[in-house]
Chain A
Amino acid sequence: MAQHPVLGYLVWAVLFGALFAWEGLALSHLSGVPTLSATFRAIMRYPFGRWALFALWLWFGWHIFVRGWHFLLRA
């Protein structure tokens, strides 16, 4: 299996850090930035937004819970 460069992990860490910093800022009500849930609520008003979010959820769920796993009864 290929070794991943440290830079790749750093990029992911910065992205997640920025996401949670944004959410923390929104929840503190110190600024007018919307929370993630408010953002998702706005997206989910529209059918295509709901489909896109559900597709994203499926994509993550497939990778985390299904892909590459061998179930007990699987040959």
Chain B
Amino acid sequence: MGDAALSSALIRQDVLPLAVGYALLMAALAAGLVLSLRRPAVPGQRPSPAASAASAVSAASADSAAGPAARGWLRLVRHVAGTAVGGYLLLMAVVVGYYFGVARVSGNFIEGAFTGCALLIGLSSPVFAAATWLVVRRRPSGNDR
């Protein structure tokens, strides 16, 4: 089978169903997020660490002092980095365990998992950082939601 046919089959049978499922899941999550933002907050509910870190960044940005803002950003960076590193290591442990314990997948599966996931983190992290910075910058002062 040629490369073109292989690519076509790969896109039709694997990439397309996964992409459609991913888009549907993200759309459902976005709808839930929009609905929860429209609803008033439940009294006594604690915000997530990421939300409180972003709020700290936002609140600190309104101040003229650079110290609190730096602490807010540092807290957010530490939270995101901890999640990314922990998730990456967990996935690599599962991949290695699956490869050696269940099925020996042919090709450079493990190498692809290590480098591909690292590449994905490397590409998405700057985008996430830029998006966070834009959200904090556009947020009116005093609005911590």
Bound-state CA distance A12–B21 (Å) is 10
Q: Is the CB of A61 within 8 A of B48?
A: no
User: How many of B's residues come within 8 Å of A, CB to CB?
Assistant: 41
Q: Is the CB of B48 within 8 A of A44?
A: yes
With beta carbons under 8 angstroms apart, the residue of B17, B22, B31, B82 that contacts A27 is B31
Residue B70 at the chain A interface, CB threshold 8 Å: no
A59-B116 contact, Cβ under 8 Å, with A1-B1, A51-B83? no
User: How many of A's residues come within 8 Å of B, CB to CB?
Assistant: 37
Q: Is the CB of B86 within 8 A of A65?
A: no
Chain B residues close to A by CB (< 8 Å):
1, 6, 9-10, 13-15, 17-19, 21-22, 24-25, 28-29, 31-33, 35-36, 48, 50, 82-84, 86-91, 94, 112-113, 116-117, 119-121, 124
